[in-house]
């Protein structure tokens, strides 16, 4: 390990390098704990170039013994460069991998969200015998419940049953039961947080369980521009959920500290340490006030906007082709609990060892 790159703390919003001194590329990612090591996987954006139509370069995974220093294990799901029609082709709008382990089949199951330029979204499902692959596609073009399915989270209950929380695109949040092999939905589902249009529709759902309560952290729908997060609580996997509010109340910018939470990780061996793992997708746009693009999205998607308002809104909203996320940073923060409410306070630097 290059000692110059050795970390002994987490520094939100700063460039995070792996043990070889390269930017960590695990965006929209999650952390798993297996056999004494932490594994962090996510979108590999190292070659992302909107001008060339390159959206991703597969899914990359890292390993750590301390949550600070991460060894690059390489691509666990490589891009398919040969087939332009594949959901794994670098020009495919693939993001937000989530991996869970199915005890019944002995397989690691990965779901990928695939966006399309016509506004629809579907899923690709892959399986592997070990977390680091190789993975085999078992489903492609899956429309769960025959819905256009956006950002999501996968969760396995202590009894082995699995659940899929996703944004029904520009509509509401869905909690759907997964089949026994975790590769499809059973057809049973519940609906939550109906909203009329972006930016108020909820996406990027992250679930965590604490003291018997189910928490959902969601983002508004403003593409790669950040917005106020929303925290909700329920008594069961399917809720019903009660909205508690923005967990970032001390952030005057109302942008979740210029980040979007992708997952929440409960640190094993710690009594009450839950880490919100978030991406700062567009660090160079941190000067934009949320109120400006909140109105832009409402005008772009709302029912009452005039043609002039829609045109003005379109000029403010970055298109997918303009969203260069190759140098996105990470904002990892620990939750602070006050009764049932969970807060995220800003820390320039913090340590795992400071928590019981």
3-class SS letters over the chain: CCHHHCCCCECCCCCCECCCCCECCCEEEEEEEECCEEEEEEECCCCCEHHHCECCCCEEEEEECCCCCCEEEEEEECCCCCCCCCCCCCCCEEEEEEEEEECCCCEEEEEEEEECCCCCEEEEEEEECCCCCCCEEEEEEECHHHCCEEEEEEEECCCCCEEEEEEECCCEEEEEEECCCCCCEEEEEEEECCCCCCCCCEEEEEEEEECCEEEEEEEECCCCCCCCCEEEEECCCCCCEEEEECCCCCCCCCCCCCCEEEEEEECCCCCCCEEEEEEECCHHHCCCCHHHHHHHHHHHHCCCCCHHHHHHHHHHCCCHHHCCCCCCEEEEEEEEEECCEEEECCCCCECHHHCC
Q: What is the mean pLDDT of residues 16-24?
A: 96
Q: How far apart are CA 102 and CA 112, in angstroms?
A: 17
What pTM did the predictor assign? 0.95
Instruction: Say yes or no to pLDDT of 5 above 70.
Output: no
pLDDT at 323: 74
Q: What confidence score (pLDDT) does residue 320 get? A: 62
The rounded percent of the chain whose pLDDT value lies above 70 is 98
Does 1 score more than 80 pLDDT?
Answer: no
CA dist 49 → 16, 53, 77, 325 (Å): 20, 6, 19, 8
pLDDT surpassing 70 at residue 236: yes
Mean pLDDT of 146-150: 97
Half-sphere exposure of 308 (CA within 13 A, CB side): 0
Average pLDDT over residues 259-275: 97
- Are the C-beta atoms of residues 229 and 244 closer than 8 Å to each other? no
> Which whole number is the average pLDDT over 163-172?
97
- Distance from C-alpha of 301 to C-alpha of 314, rounded to nearest angstrom: 10
The pLDDT-based confidence of 3 (bands split at 50, 70, 90) is: very low
pLDDT digits (tens, 9 = 90+) for 29-86: 999 999 999 999 999 999 999 888 999 999 999 999 999 999 999 999 999 999 999 9
Which percentage of the chain shows pLDDT scores above 90? Answer: 88
Residue 6 — pLDDT band, cuts 50, 70, 90? confident
pLDDT digits (tens, 9 = 90+) for 194-235: 999 999 999 999 999 999 999 999 999 999 999 999 999 999
Taking residues 88-106, report their average pLDDT.
97
Instruction: With a cut of 60, say whether residue 239 has pLDDT above it.
Output: yes
């Amino acid at each position: 390990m290059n000692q110059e790159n050795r970390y002994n703390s987490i520094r939100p919003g700063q460039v995070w390098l792996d043990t070889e001194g390269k930017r960590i590329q695990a965006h929209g990612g999650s952390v798993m704990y297996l056999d004494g090591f932490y594994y962090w996987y996510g979108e590999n954006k190292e070659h992302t170039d909107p001008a060339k139509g390159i959206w991703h370069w597969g899914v990359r995974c890292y390993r750590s013994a301390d949550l600070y220093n991460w060894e690059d294990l390489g691509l666990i799901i490589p891009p398919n460069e040969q087939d332009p029609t594949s959901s794994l082709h670098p020009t495919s709008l693939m993001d937000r991998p989530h991996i869970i382990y199915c005890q019944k089949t002995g397989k690691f199951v990965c779901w990928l969200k695939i966006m399309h330029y016509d506004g629809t979204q579907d899923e690709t499902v892959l399986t592997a015998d070990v977390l680091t692959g190789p993975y085999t596609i078992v489903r492609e073009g899956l429309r769960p419940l025959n819905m256009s399915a956006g950002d999501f989270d996968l969760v396995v209950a202590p009894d082995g049953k699995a659940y899929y929380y996703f944004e029904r695109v520009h509509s509401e949040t869905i909690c759907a039961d997964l089949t026994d092999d975790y590769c499809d939905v059973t057809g049973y589902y519940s609906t939550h947080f109906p909203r009329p249009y972006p930016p108020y529709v909820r996406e990027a759902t992250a679930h965590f369980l604490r003291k018997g309560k189910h928490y959902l952290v969601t983002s508004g729908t403003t593409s790669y521009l950040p917005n106020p997060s929303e925290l909700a609580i329920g008594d069961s996997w399917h809720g019903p959920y009660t909205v508690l509010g923005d967990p970032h109340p001390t952030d005057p910018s109302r942008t979740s500290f210029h980040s979007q939470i992708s997952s929440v990780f409960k640190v094993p061996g710690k009594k009450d340490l839950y880490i919100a793992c978030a991406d700062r997708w567009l660090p160079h746009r941190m000067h934009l006030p949320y109120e400006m693009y909140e109105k832009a999205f409402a005008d772009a998607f709302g029912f009452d906007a005039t043609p002039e308002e829609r045109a003005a809104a379109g000029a403010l909203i970055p298109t997918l082709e303009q969203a260069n996320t190759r140098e996105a940073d990470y904002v990892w923060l620990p939750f602070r609990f006050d009764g049932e409410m969970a807060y995220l306070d800003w820390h320039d630097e913090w340590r795992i060892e400071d928590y019981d």
